[in-house]
């Protein structure tokens, strides 16, 4: 994975994430949108065959870096939770 920050203001960020696709970005975007401090979270790949995804986040003024970091830890904890529940369910059956 390689990450390129295209532009950044006080509450906005645009970044290109090489080597990733909908698998990560769709879920990340959804989690970001759950946060009421996030005004816009959207990502796109300019061309399906040749482009890398670009994530755009705009907050209500809160530092966008913290918001994204929080979203990522939320994502990790949710994965952990799923992992736990899943392992238990498998054990049980």
Residues contributing to the site for other proteins (CB under 8 A): 30, 33, 39-44, 46-50, 56, 58
Closest C-alpha to 40, from 57, 21, 18, 26: 57
* Cα distance between residue 12 and residue 2, in whole Å: 20
Q: Which is nearer to other proteins, 37 or 58 (CB)?
A: 58
Of 56 and 62, which has the nearer Cβ to other proteins? 56
Q: To the nearest whole angstrom, how small is the minimum distance from the Cβ of residue 92 to other proteins? A: 34
Residues in the chain: 93
Q: Which is nearer to other proteins, 48 or 90 (CB)?
A: 48
Give the nearest distance from C-beta 59 to other proteins in angstroms.
13
Smallest distance, other proteins to C-beta of residue 58, A? 7
The answer to whether the CB of 16 falls within 8 A of the CB of 6 is: yes
CA distances from 91 to 82, 85, 86 (A): 14, 10, 9
């Amino acid at each position: 994975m390689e990450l390129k920050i295209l532009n950044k203001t006080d509450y906005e960020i645009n970044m290109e994430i090489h080597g990733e696709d909908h698998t990560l970005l769709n879920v990340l975007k959804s989690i970001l949108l759950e946060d009421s401090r996030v005004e816009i979270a959207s990502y796109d790949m300019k061309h399906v065959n040749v482009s890398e995804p670009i994530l755009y986040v705009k907050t209500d003024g809160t530092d966008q870096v913290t918001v994204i970091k929080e979203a990522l830890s939320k994502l990790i904890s949710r994965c952990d939770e799923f992992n736990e529940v899943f392992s238990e369910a498998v054990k049980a059956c």
